[in-house]
C-alpha cells in the first residue's frame, strides 16, 4: 500500500543564541500513520515539533504540511492540525464544557461537548473545573482539545509523561483510536515501550540530528542482526504486567 506524504521536513535547522537545537533534520510522515520522534531530553524533539506546529520560527529549511508550505501560509496549517503541548494549561476556573466552547470558537466550529468528552473518557466531568482534574484527566482533556477541529494531523508532545500505568495504557488505546479514524499522529516520547507498541515508524533524534529512522520492528531486527543480545533472558511477562493484572486496567480518576 502506497500512502501519500502528509508532512515533509527538509534540512530543518534551528539555532538559539548559543545552542544548535535542530541541526539539519529531514523526514517525512505518511498519511494515517503514527510517527514517533524519540530521543533523550534536550535532543530537539519538542523544538522540531513546535516548528511544524507553527509555534516557533525556524532558522532554515523547509516544512510542508498537507501540501501547505509553512513559510507561505502558517494559518492554514493551524486549521488542519491539533496540538497538545507539554505542560500547557487552560483557564483553571473554567468548566470543561466552557473550555470546549472556547476552543470551538477558536477553531470556528461547533461540537457536541458530551461526545467530545466521551472520546477521552471524561463524559461525567463536563461541569468540573479544569483545576479539579487529576494529572491523567488533564492530559486526556488536553488531547480532546486537539480533536475539536477534526484535524488531519494530531501532534502529541510527551502525552504520557507522569501518568500511572493504567492511564498510560488507556491513552495508548485512545491514540490508536484516533489513528483508526484516519488521523495522522505525530508523537514524542522517551518511553521505548510506548514507541514500540504505538508507532508505525520512529525517528531517533540525538543532538539535533536524526540518527536512525524506520519501523520499530526493523530497528530491533537490525540490532539483533548486528549480533546484539540481551544479557538476561526475557520472561514472558514483566513487572508492569504484574502490576496491571493486580490493579486492573481501568482509568484511575482520582
Which residues contact other proteins by CB under 8 A?
A: 53-55, 75-76, 78-81, 83, 85, 87-91, 93-94, 98-99, 101-109, 145, 149-150
Nearer to other proteins, 105 or 248 (CB): 105
Q: What is the largest CA-CA distance in the chain?
A: 56
Nearer to other proteins, 73 or 217 (CB): 73
54 with 74: CB under 8 angstroms? yes
Termini Cα distance of the chain? 43
Instruction: Measure the CA angle with vertex 220, ends 212 and 175; round to 5°.
Output: 80
Least distance (Å) from other proteins to the CB of residue 99? 7
Least distance (Å) from other proteins to the CB of residue 80? 6
Nearer to other proteins, 9 or 81 (CB): 81
Distance of alpha carbon 194 from alpha carbon 94, whole angstroms: 32
Give the list of residues 6+ apart from residue 233 with CB closer than 8 angstroms, or none.
none
Least distance (Å) from other proteins to the CB of residue 75? 5
Nearer to other proteins, 4 or 247 (CB): 4
Nearer to other proteins, 26 or 76 (CB): 76
If phi > 0 it is left, if psi is from -120 to 50 it is alpha, else beta; for residue 157 that is beta
Beta pairing, strands 209-214 & 60-65: unpaired
Least distance (Å) from other proteins to the CB of residue 140? 15
32 with 181: CB under 8 angstroms? no
Nearer to other proteins, 108 or 254 (CB): 108
Length of the chain in residues, anyone?
A: 254
Least distance (Å) from other proteins to the CB of residue 100? 10
Least distance (Å) from other proteins to the CB of residue 120? 16
119 with 80: CB under 8 angstroms? no
Least distance (Å) from other proteins to the CB of residue 46? 12
Nearer to other proteins, 35 or 155 (CB): 155
CB count in 10 Å sphere of residue 138: 18
Helix/strand/coil for 193? helix
Instruction: Measure the CA angle with vertex 213, ends 207 and 214; round to 5°.
Output: 155
Amino acid at each position: 500500500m502506497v500512502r501519500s506524504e502528509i508532512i515533509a521536513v527538509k534540512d530543518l535547522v534551528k539555532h538559539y543564541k548559543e545552542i544548535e537545537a535542530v541541526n539539519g533534520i529531514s523526514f517525512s510522515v505518511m498519511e494515517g500513520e503514527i510517527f514517533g520522534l524519540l530521543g533523550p531530553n534536550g535532543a530537539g524533539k519538542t523544538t522540531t515539533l513546535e516548528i511544524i506546529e507553527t509555534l516557533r520560527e525556524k532558522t532554515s529549511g523547509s516544512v510542508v504540511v498537507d501540501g501547505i508550505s509553512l513559510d507561505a501560509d502558517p494559518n492554514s496549517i493551524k486549521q488542519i492540525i491539533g496540538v497538545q503541548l507539554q505542560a500547557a494549561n487552560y483557564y483553571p476556573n473554567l468548566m470543561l464544557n466552557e473550555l470546549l466552547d472556547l476552543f470551538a470558537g477558536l477553531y470556528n466550529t461547533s461540537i457536541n461537548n458530551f461526545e467530545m468528552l466521551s472520546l477521552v473518557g471524561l463524559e461525567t466531568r463536563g461541569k468540573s473545573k479544569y483545576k479539579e482534574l487529576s494529572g491523567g484527566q488533564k492530559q486526556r482533556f488536553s488531547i480532546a482539545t486537539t480533536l475539536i477541529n477534526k484535524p488531519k494531523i494530531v501532534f502529541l508532545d510527551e502525552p504520557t509523561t507522569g501518568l500511572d500505568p493504567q492511564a498510560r495504557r488507556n491513552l495508548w488505546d485512545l491514540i490508536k483510536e484516533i489513528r483508526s479514524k484516519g488521523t495522522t499522529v505525530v508523537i514524542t516520547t522517551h518511553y521505548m515501550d510506548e514507541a514500540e507498541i504505538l508507532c508505525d515508524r520512529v525517528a531517533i533524534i540525538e543532538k539535533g540530528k536524526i540518527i536512525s529512522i524506520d519501523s520499530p520492528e526493523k530497528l530491533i531486527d537490525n540490532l539483533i542482526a548486528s549480533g546484539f543480545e540481551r544479557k538476561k533472558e526475557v520472561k514472558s511477562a514483566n513487572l508492569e504486567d504484574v502490576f496491571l493484572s493486580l490493579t486492573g486496567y481501568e482509568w484511575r480518576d482520582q
